[in-house]
């Protein structure tokens, strides 16, 4: 009887945690795959953080483009990051979160530039922030805003 209770109290919750972690990792990998496919669509648009426009774009019509993305974290990433704060080191669970948000925001900026006929986006800049969760010890998310000067 005690072994049966132990099984239900320990192994089943651990099994559910493992299943949820695997599902979350699968969703994240699927998102990265979709991002890579979408990035290929916009490979013809020049994207740079240079401030000076090259001579071939000197007479181009400039306009502002921007994209943003908010990617939520989950309890597993928060838990893993909490463990990492005990021992120090890179929080790899948050690195993938930031990468997903950054790439998604850039794609949204490029979609806006492509809709308006731009062939290049110059002087791009990134802004980041966290959303909720900090005070309440709950999972929050990250927001990335990307903006630049598109040139026709």
pLDDT tens digit sequence for 4-30: 777 677 787 788 878 878 888 888 899
112 in a structural domain: yes
69 in a structural domain: yes
25 in a structural domain: no
pTM over 0.85: no
pLDDT tens digit sequence for 112-147: 999 999 999 999 999 998 876 656 666 678 899 999
Classified as helix, coil or strand, 77 is helix
Q: What is the CATH number of the domain that holds 115?
A: 3.30.110.70
So what's the pLDDT on residue 106?
A: 97
Give the chain's domain count.
1
103 in a structural domain: yes
So what's the pLDDT on residue 111?
A: 96
So what's the pLDDT on residue 1?
A: 65
pLDDT tens digit sequence for 46-93: 999 998 888 888 888 899 999 999 988 877 776 676 776 777 777 777
62 in a structural domain: yes
90 in a structural domain: yes
60 in a structural domain: yes
Expressed as residue numbers, the domain containing 71 is 44-151
Determine whether 143 is exposed, middle or buried from the number of CB atoms within 10 Å of its CB (0-12, 13-18, 19+). middle
Give the pLDDT mean for 39-43.
Answer: 93
8 A C-beta contact, residue 55 and residue 67: no
């Amino acid at each position: 009887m005690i072994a049966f209770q132990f099984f239900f109290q320990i192994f089943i919750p651990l099994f559910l945690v493992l299943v949820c972690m695997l599902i979350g990792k699968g969703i994240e990998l699927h998102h990265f795959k979709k991002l890579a496919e979408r990035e290929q669509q916009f490979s013809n648009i020049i994207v740079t953080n240079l401030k000076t426009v090259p001579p071939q774009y000197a007479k181009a019509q400039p306009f502002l483009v921007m994209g943003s993305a908010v990617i939520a974290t989950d309890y597993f990433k928060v838990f893993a990051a909490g463990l990492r704060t005990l021992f120090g080191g890179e929080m790899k669970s948050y690195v993938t979160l930031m990468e997903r948000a950054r790439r998604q925001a850039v794609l949204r900026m490029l979609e806006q530039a492509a809709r308006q006929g731009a062939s290049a986006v110059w002087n791009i800049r990134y802004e980041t922030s966290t959303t909720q969760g900090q005070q309440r010890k709950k999972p929050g998310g990250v927001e990335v805003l990307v903006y630049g000067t598109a040139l026709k």
